[in-house]
Amino acid sequence: MPEPPFRLRGPTVSGAVLAAVSVALAAGIVLAWQEKLPATTVPLIFLMAVLVSAVLSGFWVGVATAAAAFFVMNFLFTEPFFTLQVSRPQDIVTLGVFLCAAGLVGSLAGSLRDRAEAARTRAGTLAILSAFSARLAEVDTRDAALAQAVAHLSALAGGDAVAVVLSDLPKPVAAMPALAELAVPDAQAAERCLRSGRVEHASAEGWQGAALTFLPVPDGTGLLALGHCRLSGADTAQRSVAISALVEQLALALRRLDASLSAAAARQDAEAEATRSALLASLSHDLRTPLATILGAASTLTELHDGLSPAARADLLAAISQEAGRLNLHVTNLLQMTRLSRSILPRLEWVDVNDIAQSAVARWQRAFPHAACQCDLAELPMIRAEGGLLEQMLFNLLDNARKHGTAPVTLRTGRVEGGLTLAVADAGSGPAKGLRDWLEGGQMWPMAEQRGLGLAVAKCIAQVHGGRLQWSDGAFRVFLPMQADP
Amino acid sequence: MTAARPLVLIVDDEPQILRFLVHALSASGHDTLTAATAAQAETQVATRRPDLVILDLGLPDADGKTVIEAIRAWSDVPIIVLSARDQEMEKIMSLDLGADDFVGKPFAIGELLARIRVCLRPRREGEPSTRFRLGPLEIDAAEHRVLRDREPVHLTPKEFELLLALAETPGRVLTHRQLLTRIWGPAHADDVPYLRVFVGQLRQKIEFNPGSPELILTEPGIGYRAFAAR
């Protein structure tokens, strides 16, 4: 912070009163005890009055008191009395020496007092500024930084302070004391300040116009200004320099916050991008493998038709139809996932979960003729759900058991408190830790290392029905809540 | 005497791919062997000595590229890599490791059979030949002369080297790195723009229509291959 030039405290009304009172008091004392006091003490008593008023009110009051004391002494206590004339030469010397001594004492004592006071206020503003920097280092949002700035600005200016953001109109975003709207002249001043990028000073005391001085904050947006009340007192220059320093500190802190926020956002984007492309790679593998078989087998049939045995032709045709089914499964899952990720609500109707379970198992066995499943279905009430989605969910869980688990696969349904459970279990060791965590977590799209969309779709379907999918007691369990009657 | 049916080893972890490849290769006059893992593939190559290996790069137990390295350590058996279309880097690394060609998945069987024919073409025995044909071109390596429809074509030494490199293995892809290393030396192995300029100049001199070349074909992002007569 640059040092403002030291300025003596200006004369004030109270200073003039003090000068008059102290000179009058000295004159009164001398008049009251004129008989008992030796003549030589008279100048000393007046000197005392000059010293007291200089110490209490500063340089200019000290000098003025010295001048007044000179004239009063001349008027009252030097012959001829009650005139400003001096008849005796030794009185001229006494008065001359008194004037010099009083002037020196008054000016020295007064200026010392002014310096001490200036040092005190400088220490005060420095303390406020350093407290502000300490707080700024801790804040992690823009709003918190502005609140701190306004609080410390109010302390520096000794009154109201406000932070203003220009949107359509200047709007206070933080204020001390709290403020919902700026007064019209203040709003206009804030706008002028932001449009021109220069300090807009408050109008003088008692004049119409803005009550607040506005300073633009160079935080890179050009839309933020700080306002503070009029400064008054001898240390105005000092405090105004401190206020500029506060504005600069705030601007730096806001830029730092912006930079760290955009760095965090960029990091998040990059992570999301990596997840997306890994997911896309795994999805494209799922689609490409059946496609490669279909294209290869079909082109073999057309190009090498005559060289193939009837059994080979039948096998190729079977491969095409199986792989087309697999492709269809992937595409269905992809479409379901897209639909569910847009949070389109299911079309609820009354369904029997056991019927759905049986049809899912039948469809699964049609698709994979060698797959086998043992069903254990309990008596269940009807629930409201979208049957097609539930069937897809069970199919995906069965298919997951077939691909990644160990036979035999079992499907169990049952009632629990508040709803139904559907459990698909196999004899394998269950999913890896990462996958179990993903089931519990809020992430909807599958992890990159997950092959395919089957489990992600199953999880989504359970969730859109108000239920959940989890791994417990050696089985994938879906909990579906009982819906209240419509 | 009829030629013995060539033995082809197919390495892929997808049973459905193995299924149609076995039918297709049997119907087109090949005997087949299959392997679903890198370990099985290496054992099969060592014990059954196939005439050709078709290798998928995505294997459950190891990267397909390690299989190429293992085979190349002791065998010259032609290797055709199966890879997804968008894995340029994988293809280039496989070719540089010693694979002979690649086919992108998904593929029509005709494309794979054509590549197999190129790879199984009998290697020239004894004295290396010095005369090659490439479409309408006659190339004499010993005399550094190129005729197109019996008219001489003037090529700079580098252009001639480039043409010769491609014409020696018609139909087979050569990576940028392989061509650059052979003609300009290992220090220039990565100067792909350099190669592109020379291929452009060469096409101006030998192609009927340099805008749609028929003799030197581009494999985008990978390299070049010379036209192969069926």
Residue A289 lies in a domain: no
Class of domain B7-120: alpha beta
| Residues shown for chain A | 486
pLDDT tens profile B183-192: 888 888 888 8
- Identify the pLDDT of residue A386: 85
* CATH at A177: 3.30.450.40
Q: Do B20 and A289 touch (CB under 8 A)?
A: no
**What one-letter code names the amino acid at A255?**
R
Structure tokens at B8: 């082809």
Q: How far is B215 from chain A (nearest CA, A)?
A: 26
Residue B20 Cα, gap to closest chain A Cα (Å): 5
Helix (H) or strand (E) holding B139, with range, is strand B137-140
The secondary structure of A232-291 as a DSSP string is -STTHHHHHHHHHHHHHHHHHHHHHHHHHHHHHHHHHHHHHHHHHHHHHHHHHHHHHHHH
Contact: A289, B28; criterion CB under 8 Å: no
**pLDDT (0 to 100) of residue A231:** 84
pTM over 0.80: no
d(CA B88, CA B133): 30
pLDDT average, residue stretch A121-126: 86
Tell me, yes or no, whether A349 and A468 share the same domain: yes
Note the CATH number of domain B131-226.
Answer: 1.10.10.10
Please tell me if residue A304 touches chain B, with a CB cutoff of 8 Å: yes
Query: For the residues B59-69, what does the mean pLDDT come to?
Result: 86
Residue in chain B nearest A313 by alpha carbon: B23
Of B19, B58, B108, the CB nearest to A295: B108
A85 and A186 assigned to the same domain: no
Last residue of a domain, one of A88, A122, A156: A122
Within a domain: residue A435?
A: yes
Give tens-digit pLDDT for A77-103: 877 888 878 788 887 888 888 888 888
| Higher local confidence (pLDDT), A455 or B43 | B43
Tell me: the pLDDT tens digits for A393-404? 899 899 888 888
Structural domain includes residue A308: no
pLDDT over 50 at B2, yes or no: no
Summarised one tens digit per residue, pLDDT across range A237-249 is 888 888 999 999 9
Nearest to A395 by CA among A428, A433, A421, A356: A356
Residue A485's pLDDT is 43
Q: Is the CB of B197 inside 8 Å of chain A's CB atoms?
A: no
CB contact B87 to A (< 8 Å):
no
Q: Which residues contact A118 (CB under 8 A, 6 or more apart)?
A: A6, A7, A234, A235, A238
Comparing A452-466, B4-18, B145-159, B195-209, the range with the smallest average pLDDT is: A452-466
Per-residue pLDDT reduced to its tens digit, A291-338 = 999 999 999 999 988 888 999 999 999 999 888 988 888 888 888 777
Compare all CA atoms of chain B with the CA of A290 and give the residue at the minimum distance: B16
- Domain co-membership, A116 together with A165: no
Interface test with B, best of A302, A304, A370 (most B CBs within 10 A): A304
The token pair at B11 is 């390495």
Q: What percent of chain A has pLDDT over 70?
A: 94
Two tokens, residue A54: 């200089």
Contacts of A451 in chain B (CB under 8 A): none
Residue A113 has pLDDT above 90, yes or no: no
Give the pLDDT score at B230. 54
Q: Is A277 on the interface with B (CB under 8 A)?
A: no
CA distance A473 to chain B (A): 29
Q: Which of A1-15, A207-221, A423-437, B25-39 has the lowest mean pLDDT?
A: A1-15
Nearest to B28 among A293, A307, A322 (CB): A307
Find the closest chain B residue to A306 by CA distance: B27
Query: Percent of chain B beyond pLDDT 90?
Result: 29
Strand order in the sheet with A373-377: A373-377, A409-416, A419-425, A475-481, A468-472
Is B15 an 8 Å CB contact of chain A?
A: no
A296 contacts on B by Cβ (under 8 Å)? 17, 20-21, 24, 106-109, 112
Per residue in A6-16, pLDDT (tens digit) is: 666 666 788 88
Q: Which of A17-21, A76-80, A343-347 has the highest mean pLDDT?
A: A17-21
Which whole number is the average pLDDT over A206-219?
Answer: 87
Same-domain status, A95 and A183: no
Within this chain, do residues A111 and A202 fall inside the same structural domain, yes or no? no
Model pLDDT, residue A466: 85
Nearest CA in chain A to B87: A281
* Boundary residue ending a domain (A200, A225, A260): A260
pLDDT at A2 exceeding the cut of 80: no
For position A343, what pLDDT does the model report? 67
Q: Which pLDDT band holds residue B3 (cuts at 50, 70, 90)?
A: low
Asked if residue A350 and residue A235 are part of one domain, the reply reads no
Domain locations in chain B? 7-120, 131-226
The gap from C-alpha A43 to its chain's centroid, in whole angstroms, comes to: 68
Contacts of B26 in chain A (CB under 8 A): 312
Does A285 sit within 8 Å of B16, measured CB to CB?
no
Among A260, A292, A312, the domain boundary falls at A260
Q: Quick one: average pLDDT of A354-377?
A: 86
User: Torsions phi, psi of B90, nearest 5?
Assistant: -60, -45
A312 touches chain B (CB under 8 A): yes
pLDDT at A484: 47
If you measure CA to CA, which chain A residue comes closest to B86?
A281
Alpha helices in A58-141 (DSSP H): 59-77, 89-138
Distance CA A199, CA B11 (A): 78
Tell me which amino acid residue A339 is: R
State yes or no: pLDDT of B1 exceeds 60. no
Least confident of A82-86, A257-261, B66-70: A82-86
User: pLDDT tens, A39-70?
Assistant: 788 888 888 888 888 888 878 888 888 888 88
From B17, B26, B58, residue closest to A296, measured CB to CB: B17
Contacts of B114 in chain A (CB under 8 A): none
How many domains, chain A?
A: 3
Q: Please report, rounded to a whole number, the percentage of residues in chain A having pLDDT higher than 90.
A: 12
Q: Would you state the pLDDT for residue A348?
A: 82
Q: Do A315 and B27 touch (CB under 8 A)?
A: no
* Structural domain includes residue A284: no
Distance from CA of A329 to the nearest CA of B (A): 16
**Does residue A363 sit within a domain?**
yes
CA distance A424 to A476: 5
Q: Are residues A146 and A69 in the same domain?
A: no
pLDDT of residue A293: 92
The answer on A434 and A396 residing in a single domain is yes
B81-102 pLDDT per residue, tens: 988 766 788 888 899 898 999 8
What is the rounded average pLDDT for all residues in chain B?
86
Rounded Cα gap, residues A239 and A161, in angstroms? 14
Range of the domain at A44: 13-122
Out of B17, B19, B109, name the one closest to residue A304 (CB). Answer: B109
